[in-house]
Amino acid sequence: MKKENENRSELINSNFGLVHSCANKFRGRGVDYDDLFQAGCVGLIKAADNFDSSRGFAFSTYAVPVILGEIRRIFRDGGTVKVGRALKEKSRHAVKIREEMAVELGRDVTITELSERLQVSVSEAAELITVSMPALSLTVDDEKGTTELDIPTDPPEEEIAEKLTLKTVIECLEAPERRLIELRYFKGLTQVKTAKELGMSQVQVSRKEKAILLKMRKMM
């Protein structure tokens, strides 16, 4: 159990960059970046909780759709991440401790250091800090009165997730299979030219290509 908790904490602590990357996809859509990042961290924690490494895929492949799903939820739920009173109180305490530590150390405090001081897991410390980030309403008051922002509800998370999954699947192929796919779909060669590159007949390339694509579909 201790090993599992350590692996979970490592997944979270080493993938905040993934959250930033996902949150950046939604910049300029009417929600403050801190709020996007907060929701993304919730998704990261959920992904770490449910990730199954035995399936043979990279954590990022699994985590990105979960992170993007939590960020997208902001737009569906009216632009805020709903937080309970007890969690807010814990969050305020965590922020206070972090500020005190920053004064003591003379620098920014890492999530790991904060978790050790609070005696909680890295993921819980991250959640407590993100809860304290301010939210931005999607209702804007301007000179013309109150305006409801029209936020698109079809961001490109599906495409992002598919690309990451495809990348992982290709990396799992055997070298000859990967070479054929690269020639056909990344370099855009015809089956005839691909056959010349690989020293095969066009018929062999066609059959091999179909088999590889079927294999990739099953893996995805």
Q: In terms of pLDDT, which residue wins out, 51 or 88?
A: 51
Asked if residue 47 has pLDDT above 70, the reply is yes
Q: Give the start-to-end residue ranges of the domains of the chain.
A: 2-148, 173-219
Whole-model pTM?
A: 0.43
The topology (CATH level 3) of 2-148 is Rna Polymerase Sigma Factor; Chain: A (1.10.1740)
Asked if residue 85 has pLDDT above 50, the reply is yes
Residue range 161-209, pLDDT digits in tens: 666 677 777 888 889 999 999 898 888 888 899 999 999 999 999 999 9
- Angle of helix 111-118 relative to helix 85-105, nearest 10 degrees, comes to 110
Residue range 54-63, pLDDT digits in tens: 777 778 878 8
